[in-house]
């Protein structure tokens, strides 16, 4: 008997229907010498420390780091899991051959192999069903081309390394920081500090951005412009940091004629957009409609399981050569949905450029495209996502948008100006995005009348005062882009493609990382923005090891996992590096014990802090340092040990200017940010009396 294991019941039913297997049993379908069964996603997971040794159930620094010599598996503790696993186990033990039909990717491979291992069936013959789509035709073709399951051993090795490294870093770091800093809150309740190999660097990015905005001080600048024939011309030099230089030029040209000195027109071709991978799809939907990355992933997964789009958890924006003959057929099927847009395409001569077809840019899965099956019964989110996918797919085969970029140079009394304008010659693919493009262009561009070189006339010069603006808070769109590019904000498609190998997380996991940070109250949504909470900021302040919150380091780890997938790196070498790292982290963290004989260092000047009758203050008060920390603020009272932690662990950042007062942000592990206005003569006097 052959046994097929799918990842979900719905996929198992689709496969059974194609194979004409109709006999329903409890937990599987049977017929024609084959049984099709299913998991519920992850059925099997890594054991907890207490399952290795009951003594490890107690959280203690003395038991850290804990790295198992050999990881052991256990069932996920969830209703119905044990019953379904027994069905799978019974079938696998009877099977002559087992076919892996879980999602065709790293996590799907892990789900199947962990089930196989816990069943004790790793030595049985295995084959791999690799699906890009769940249409009946795609399933039939995939069954005709079953692969040897061991061809995917490197993929499993990478998946296992991901699972075990997350376990090692997450468990050890979480226990370490929770034991050391979990009782800092004013109520005495333990705070669980959850730390992860991927989630913590992402949190650090958000905290760093929010702190940069908090500490941003706008700088004044002045721009010299002039209006001629209802067109705004900008001074070609840099804007002015001081008004006097700009005013001098303004005085120089006031009352003087303006002369057009040159007109240059340049044709620019804007190529059609590339097809979607999961991250660019999530970013686009978040930008246009405000949907979260998790909601977009859920909608696209539903569309895949309903056979309307191809496999969504992909990091490729290209199609493979063998898919090229099917594209005209898919577009022809879509004519019932988009007749006018597709009618403009010549389906017998589609422009299959390297921006669309490139086998070297397709690893596990190609870009997300429609299957051609007409959608029905879509909910709101699914409709939005499907419309975006189908529009992007059609646009990829449209001609380029042709623009004329015109630059007009002018001068007034030797002071040079220029104005730029854009004229659409051929809209090309932008016709499919007309409303969006028009709104963007209206905001960014100005129409230019016909100018003649040498023409002259009066103009209206002015000096405008402006202020620099702070960086923007992360949205899910910009955060996903930064995660994809290992912490760097990159808009250029080519550069972002080059950085994908070092991205934080994978397209399939990035949404879950964001949701994890939200569920643990480390970040929160404010409209389209993602902002750190006081708890999140405090956690990042507590973590002293820069590598644990480094996007670059996490990107390097992800790059190594991809090398393991390609058999370019030994899994043992990667895991040895992870184990060595966590041992160093725990050792250095334990060494950072509090010194009971001192309060800590002043965050303003570095001198020792002393305790007064009612407050703590800097010992350098005679030299003018005005730092004071009251033990009670906003309803929270800090115990002596808590003050030592705040000061010795340097949880107090540098003072910042808020309004007209200088304030010091003090982070409470209860999730509260307290600000103390500096200076305070009354509080300083409390220290001087000692």
Which of the residues are catalytic?
Answer: 311
- Are 321 and 357 in contact by the 8 Å Cβ rule? The answer is yes
DSSP 330-396: HHHHGGGTSHHHHHTS-TTS----TTTB-GGG-SS---B-B-SPPP-S--HHHHHHHHHHHHHHHHT
In whole angstroms, give the CA distance from residue 75 to residue 356.
43
> Which residues of 137-217 form beta strands (DSSP E)?
147-148
In whole angstroms, give the CA distance from residue 116 to residue 123.
9
In whole angstroms, give the CA distance from residue 241 to residue 52.
65
Count CB neighbours of 688 within 10 A: 11
Dihedral sign, CA of 95, 101, 104, 107?
negative
In whole angstroms, give the CA distance from residue 168 to residue 378.
41
Name every residue whose Cβ is closer than 8 Å to that of residue 120 and which is 6 or more positions away in sequence. 93
Name every residue whose Cβ is closer than 8 Å to that of residue 580 and which is 6 or more positions away in sequence. none
In whole angstroms, give the CA distance from residue 373 to residue 307.
7
**Residue 230 zone, left/alpha/beta (φ > 0; ψ -120 to 50; rest):** left
Q: ω before 65 within 30° of 0 (cis)?
A: yes
Nearest to 66 by CA among 46, 82, 80: 46
Partner residues linked to 100 by β-bridges = 5, 128
Task: Supply φ then ψ for residue 202, to 5 degrees.
Answer: -65, -45
- Are 222 and 466 in contact by the 8 Å Cβ rule? The answer is yes
Where b means 16+ CB within 10 Å and e means fewer, 108-138 reads bbbbbbbbbebbebeebebbbbbbbbbbeeb
- Are 303 and 312 in contact by the 8 Å Cβ rule? The answer is yes
Task: Supply φ then ψ for residue 100, to 5 degrees.
Answer: -85, 115
H or E, element range at 466: strand 460-467
């Amino acid at each position: 008997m052959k046994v097929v294991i799918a990842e979900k019941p719905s996929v198992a039913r689709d496969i059974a229907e194609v194979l004409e297997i109709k006999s329903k049993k409890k937990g599987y379908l049977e017929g024609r010498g084959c049984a099709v069964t299913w998991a519920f996603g992850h059925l099997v997971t890594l054991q907890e420390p207490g399952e290795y040794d009951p003594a490890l159930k107690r959280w203690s620094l003395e038991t850290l780091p804990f790295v198992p010599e050999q990881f052991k598996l256990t069932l996920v503790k969830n209703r119905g899991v044990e019953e379904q696993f027994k069905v799978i186990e019974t079938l696998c033990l009877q099977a002559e051959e087992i076919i892996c039909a879980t999602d065709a990717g790293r996590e799907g491979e892990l789900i199947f192999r962990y089930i196989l291992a816990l069943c004790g069936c790793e030595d049985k013959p295995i084959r791999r069903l690799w699906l890009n789509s769940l249409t009946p035709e795609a399933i039939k073709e995939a069954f005709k081309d079953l692969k040897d399951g061991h061809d995917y051993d490197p993929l499993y090795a990478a998946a296992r390394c991901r699972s075990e490294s997350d376990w090692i870093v997450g468990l050890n770091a979480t226990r370490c920081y929770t034991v050391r800093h979990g009782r800092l809150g004013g109520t005495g309740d333990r705070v669980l500090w959850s730390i992860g190999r991927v989630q913590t660097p992402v949190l650090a990015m958000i905290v760093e951005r929010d702190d940069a905005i908090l500490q941003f001080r706008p700088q004044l600048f002045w721009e010299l412009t002039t209006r001629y024939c209802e067109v705004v011309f900008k001074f070609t030099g840099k804007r002015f940091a001081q008004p006097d230089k700009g005013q001098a030029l303004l005085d120089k040209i006031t009352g003087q004629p303006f002369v057009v000195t040159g007109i240059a027109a340049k044709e620019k071709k804007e190529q059609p957009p590339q097809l979607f991978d999961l991250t660019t799809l999530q970013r686009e939907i978040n930008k246009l409609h405000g949907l979260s990355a998790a909601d977009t992933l859920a909608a696209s997964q539903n569309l895949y399981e309903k056979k309307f789009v191809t496999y969504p958890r992909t990091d490729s924006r290209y199609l493979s050569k063998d898919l090229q003959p099917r594209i005209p057929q898919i577009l022809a099927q879509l004519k019932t949905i988009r007749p006018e847009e597709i009618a403009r395409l010549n389906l017998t001569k589609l422009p299959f450029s390297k921006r669309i077809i490139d086998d070297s840019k397709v690893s596990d899965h190609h870009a997300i495209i429609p299957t051609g099956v007409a959608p029905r019964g879509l909910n709101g989110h699914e409709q939005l996502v499907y419309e975006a996918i189908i529009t992007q797919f059609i646009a990829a085969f449209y001609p380029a948008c042709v623009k004329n970029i015109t630059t007009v140079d002018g001068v007034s009394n030797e002071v040079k100006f220029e104005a730029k304008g854009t004229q659409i010659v051929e809209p090309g693919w932008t016709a499919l995005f007309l409303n969006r493009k028009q709104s963007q262009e209206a905001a960014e561009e100005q129409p230019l009348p016909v100018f003649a070189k040498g023409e002259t006339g009066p103009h209206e010069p002015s000096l405008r005062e402006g202020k620099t603006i702070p960086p923007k808070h992360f949205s899910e769109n910009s955060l996903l882009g930064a995660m994809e590019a290992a912490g760097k904000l990159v808009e250029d498609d080519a550069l972002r493609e080059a950085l994908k190998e070092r991205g934080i997380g994978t397209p399939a996991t990035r949404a879950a990382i964001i949701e994890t940070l939200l569920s643990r109250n480390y970040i929160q949504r404010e409209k389209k923005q993602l902002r750190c909470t006081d708890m999140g900021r405090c956690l990042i302040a507590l973590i002293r090891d820069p590598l644990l919150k480094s996007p670059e380091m996490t990107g390097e780890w992800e790059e190594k996992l991809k090398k393991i997938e390609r058999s370019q790196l030994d899994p043992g070498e990667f895991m040895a590096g992870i184990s060595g790292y966590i041992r160093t982290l725990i050792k250095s963290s334990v060494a950072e014990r509090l010194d009971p004989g001192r309060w800590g260092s002043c965050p303003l000047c570095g001198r020792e802090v002393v305790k007064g009758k009612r407050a703590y203050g800097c010992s350098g008060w005679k030299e003018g340092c005005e730092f004071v920390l009251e033990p009670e603020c906003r309803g929270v009272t800090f115990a002596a040990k808590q003050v030592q932690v705040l000061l010795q662990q340097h949880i107090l950042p540098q003072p910042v200017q808020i309004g007209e007062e200088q304030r010091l942000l003090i982070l409470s592990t209860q999730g509260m940010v307290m600000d103390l206005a500096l200076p305070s003569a009354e509080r300083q006097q409390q220290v001087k009396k000692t």
